[in-house]
Amino acid sequence: MATHNHPLKRKRGVVLTLSGWQRLQAAKHESEIKDNYGNPYILEELSEHTHLSPNTLTKIHNRKVAVDKQSLESYFSAFHLSLNTNDYTKQSSQNSENSYKVTLKGQVPLDSPYYVERQPIEQLCYETILHPGALLRIKAPRQMGKTSLMARILYRARTYGFKTVTFSFQLADVTIFTDLNRFLKWFCAIVTRKLGLPNQLEEYWDDIFGGNYNCTDYFENYLLNNIDSPVVLALDQIDVVFNYPEIATDFFGLLRTWYEKSKYGDDSSDVWQKMRLLVVHSTEVYIPLNINQSPFNVGFSVELPFFTPQQVLALSKKHQLDWEIEQVEQLMALVGGNPYLVQIALEHISCNDITLDWLLQTAVTEIGIYSDFLRQQLWNLQQYPELMGSLVKTVMSETPVELEPIQAFKLQSMGLVQVKNQLAVPSCDLYRQYFRDISKRLRLNTINENPLYPDVVENVVDLDDHIKADHR
């Protein structure tokens, strides 16, 4: 009988234990001090250092999804450690079930018990989207639950027989934003495809009339005329357009015009009342728009707030934690009511990975559960040094700080600060602690790297003194 030699499959099914994770993080932190000037390794650097893919590293860090033992050995070896038997454990079926209890990044599934309603916001949104020609705006910093709410509004609209089109501007190539006509044609083509209609742009587009007129004509006389039911056009992550002021001014003016067309009471109003606009964005627009063109001062606007202590307490019960208000207040003293940070904490604690006390003690360290998240925020800021300076100024102050408007907008859209009456404060104490530590580390590195260049060190000291003087 012939034998078939099949390649042996690598056995998957281990996750780091808490002690293994702590040992690995301590070694990694030592390497960062010795070999990386004290700067945390970003995911790409870790991938190069360990010869593991970013996806595998993310799974290891999450300690929820099993990986093969060889991957752990490679990770430990990269930091001169040997993998011991108490550093990992086989993933049990219970662990596997727990690992999918809640989506910690992105949209909370429609059937998830972990979605937190912030009534009356949800009910008001459900009612508003049913109004002919409605314009509904959802505003909040990143990872506050905007997309999850949007999904529920669209689901409710579909139960009433509406068509829905979800449009994410992050899908656009940078080249799309180089020309208004190209941008609007791309926009029309995407909506056409999602409605399941043939592309008729060549028949309706005449360059002599300009992009805004052509786009309006295409929607009015082709798209809306060829559907029998109302349609909700959900524009998610519209913040991307903010980065292109020349495109944004025309496009936002166009959205405002469409909303107003449904109110004219003329022959075209019935057509435009079929469309309901749902606009999702992170903060207020900093682009100077004509008040009569902006779609951000008409329609119905909702701003998603942080979770309240009562909401966090209710969510802890869903995670089967026997918490009282005291434990909730301890967590919220660190992360405020930030939905994403709260969910991460409750997920790890409910899976018996950590205790609340351990979380509070290690929150801003490399062995804490927020280390990867904070490192990514740091990497994002390092791409824009002027933002880092503004954030340092904010976290070093004990009172609200006035920032340059565009920088305040960007920091708020990242969820790092809250802005009220043009004054900024850190969004939560986690950010204040972490970026204060980073600021001190950067200052020390500058001094260590430039012992022969006192003018460089003096500039750093002057920055510290300037920040302190601003807050006296």
Domain 384-470, CATH: 1.10.10
Task: Flag residues of the chain having pLDDT under 50.
Answer: 1-11, 93-103, 446-447, 450-472
Q: How far, in Å, CA of 53 to CA of 48, rounded?
A: 8
The backbone region for 336, taken as left when phi is positive above 0, alpha when psi lies in -120 to 50, beta otherwise, is left
pLDDT value of residue 100: 39
Q: How far, in Å, CA of 115 to CA of 121, rounded?
A: 14
Q: 308 and 338 in contact (C-beta within 8 Å)?
A: no
Q: 359 and 329 in contact (C-beta within 8 Å)?
A: no
**Cα–Cα distance list, 235 to 138, 232, 289 (Å):** 10, 10, 19
Q: How far, in Å, CA of 464 to CA of 443, rounded?
A: 9
Does residue 80 sit in helix, strand or coil?
coil
pLDDT value of residue 239: 85
Q: How far, in Å, CA of 386 to CA of 186, rounded?
A: 33
pLDDT value of residue 292: 76
Each residue of 59-79: b (16+ CB within 10 Å) or e?
A: bbbbbbbbbebebbebbbebb
Mention every residue, 6+ apart, whose C-beta is less than 8 A from residue 382.
Answer: 388
Show me where the domains of the chain are located.
Answer: 12-99, 121-303, 384-470
**Structure-token pair, residue 423:** 């004054």
Within 10 angstroms of residue 261's Cβ, the number of other Cβ atoms is 19
Q: 235 and 259 in contact (C-beta within 8 Å)?
A: no
Q: 259 and 135 in contact (C-beta within 8 Å)?
A: yes
Q: How many helices (H) and strands (E) does the chain have?
A: 22, 11
Q: How far, in Å, CA of 339 to CA of 364, rounded?
A: 18
Q: How far, in Å, CA of 234 to CA of 136, rounded?
A: 9
> What is the DSSP pairing of strand 67-68 with strand 12-16?
antiparallel
| 142 φ/ψ angles, rounded to the nearest 5 degrees | -60, 150
Closest CA to 64 of 22, 13, 28: 13
Within 10 angstroms of residue 229's Cβ, the number of other Cβ atoms is 10
CATH architecture of 12-99: Orthogonal Bundle (1.10)
pLDDT value of residue 171: 84
Q: Does this model's pTM top 0.85?
A: no
Within 10 angstroms of residue 111's Cβ, the number of other Cβ atoms is 6
CATH architecture of 121-303: 3-Layer(aba) Sandwich (3.40)
